[in-house]
Structure 1
């Protein structure tokens, strides 16, 4: 039996506290993400494209170990990447908290680390889709592209899971299909430019050579693919305000956010992750609403 049918299994025991959900959570694009699901038993399911092909990965804890199972042509590659995906190459020991909120959140979340997928393309597509639109719009487009242009997740993955579309699949998407997915011309051109050069996108510097990819998109990819502890998402619609309300009690712009985070260099993104992790228990993050919510646009109706 091949890995595509039977699957492969490995056990790995981390030598540090590990919260799988907290580490891989940034990879999830909404509750309906076809490439990331949590099973009824609490296991985390991911799909991805590797050098050997598509694959599905299931992660679960058992007796202190991580039990990783994978299916598909990319199964072995996914299993090889489990330790780094779950933060084994992260180095949080030198992080120093300069705010009580971050200090307390760090204490309460010892299993929060920065993981790395090593797969640029799978994180780049949703990041481009999220450029200058609402999260609702971006997630709708991501679901549509995965379902129409991705492939069925190998193995016994939860119903509806898909492997994201490959660069070749993106290059084959027709104009009317982009329209149906709600992807405007600018993001479509950026995706096509990236797909044409996907094999060469191996660093932040090379990403920024692609027309339409700037500092925000590069940061979103670097955080997930290389576990970059310092690359903050400058230009984000929400993060400066979240950081501001958490640390200084009022909204900030990008410059203000960077000033407040400067003491955390070269681990500013780690500080942001702790701020985000504090959201459920920190009233300061429940900032007041002063303006109407930005309305999602439906390009499919145009």
Structure 2
């Protein structure tokens, strides 16, 4: 299978392909993401030039390769180094404590990705608002399969490309309902899709201005803006304040106790500029969540409401 466009490069920092790009996957059944039998990582995306299917490989520890097919392949392949953490700079990150130091040394290739595609990160983040992750992933799968377009190129299995902004904005009420998405989240996505061009401008903004642009829209708060910044903007400091589990996870991992969001923010001040990196490193090191004593977030089937 000869790619329409291809690029091979040596990253400026150690980079682990799967660790770096894995945070972009929305559950094991994500129709935009697949790992083939040879370990190649397939991902579909949409660029200003059109849809693309991409295959990422790591031929050697210090070498990465991206191959692409489709109308958007040229642009997507050209931006592959950035997506795989070329802009991510760990300079100045001082773990400071034994657990983080071990995690950092044990995962030297973990980079913060930067897709440069705001709406593609925003929609699944909105779907994850105030529901359990499995439920949000199911909604994502249903909607992308239903309203996306077939992926170009020789993908090893059937894959699709995320819907265009116009398609997201035109999804009827009953389709949202059938995908288990309540009216509030559906309205937020439709509204965001209508303002997609303005939201995409956040890619060229400072982290503060990007967050301000995103949170201008009703239904998009600090948590959602941080989730977008982590993936679309490559922000190594974007901390998901307001997450249902994060403050207690970080609190128990690093200090052995529950924490409020405010306590977590204060305690993580020494890692300013790298707070999301800290969270990723804890996950990569296999640090477990705190023992559950309270109720889990319930599964709410909005299709039955």
How far, CA to CA, are the matches of 2:112 and 2:119 in structure 1? Answer: 19
Q: After TM superposition, list the pairs within 5 Å mapping 1:115-130 onto structure 2.
A: 115-130=113-128
Distance apart, 1:67 and its partner CA:
1.9
User: Residue 79 of structure 2 aligns with which residue?
Assistant: 81
Q: After TM superposition, list the pairs within 5 Å mapping 1:152-191 onto structure 2.
A: 152-191=150-189
User: Residue 301 of structure 2 aligns with which residue?
Assistant: 298
Matched, 1:38 2:45: no
Distance apart, 1:286 and its partner CA:
4.4
Distance apart, 1:287 and its partner CA:
2.1
Distance apart, 1:266 and its partner CA:
2.2
Distance apart, 1:173 and its partner CA:
0.7
User: Residue 236 of structure 1 aligns with which residue?
Assistant: 243
Q: 2:67 aligns with which of 66, 69, 73?
A: 69
Contact 2:131–2:297 under 8 Å retained in 1: no
Distance apart, 1:15 and its partner CA:
3.3
Distance apart, 1:198 and its partner CA:
0.2
Q: 2:270 aligns with which of 251, 254, 263?
A: 263
SS in 2 for 1:128: helix
Matched, 1:100 2:98: yes
Distance apart, 1:38 and its partner CA:
1.2
User: Residue 276 of structure 1 aligns with which residue?
Assistant: 283
Distance apart, 1:152 and its partner CA:
1.0
Q: 1:51 aligns with which of 35, 48, 52?
A: 48
- 1:12-51 Cα deviation digits (max 9, x unpaired): 1223311011111110111111111211211111111110
How far, CA to CA, are the matches of 1:286 and 1:255 in structure 2? Answer: 19
Which structure 1 residue ranges, 4+ long, deviate > 3 Å from structure 2?
none
Cα distance change, pair 215–286 in 1 and its aligned pair in 2 (3 A): closer
Q: After TM superposition, list the pairs within 5 Å mapping 1:144-223 onto structure 2.
A: 144-201=142-199, 202-203=201-202, 204=210, 205-223=212-230
How far, CA to CA, are the matches of 1:276 and 1:251 in structure 2? Answer: 18
User: Residue 133 of structure 1 aligns with which residue?
Assistant: 131
Q: After TM superposition, list the pairs within 5 Å mapping 1:242-261 onto structure 2.
A: 242-261=249-268
How far, CA to CA, are the matches of 2:3 and 2:106 in structure 1? Answer: 39
How far, CA to CA, are the matches of 2:12 and 2:169 in structure 1? Answer: 43
Contact 2:247–2:264 under 8 Å retained in 1: yes
How far, CA to CA, are the matches of 1:184 and 1:227 in structure 2? Answer: 29
**RMSD, aligned α-carbons:** 1.6
SS in 2 for 1:276: helix
Distance apart, 1:158 and its partner CA:
3.2
Distance apart, 1:269 and its partner CA:
1.4
SS in 1 for 2:187: helix
How far, CA to CA, are the matches of 2:99 and 2:159 in structure 1? Answer: 37
Distance apart, 1:265 and its partner CA:
0.8
How far, CA to CA, are the matches of 1:158 and 1:216 in structure 2? Answer: 35
Gaps of 5+ in 2: 203-209
Distance apart, 1:299 and its partner CA:
1.6
Contact 2:43–2:53 under 8 Å retained in 1: yes
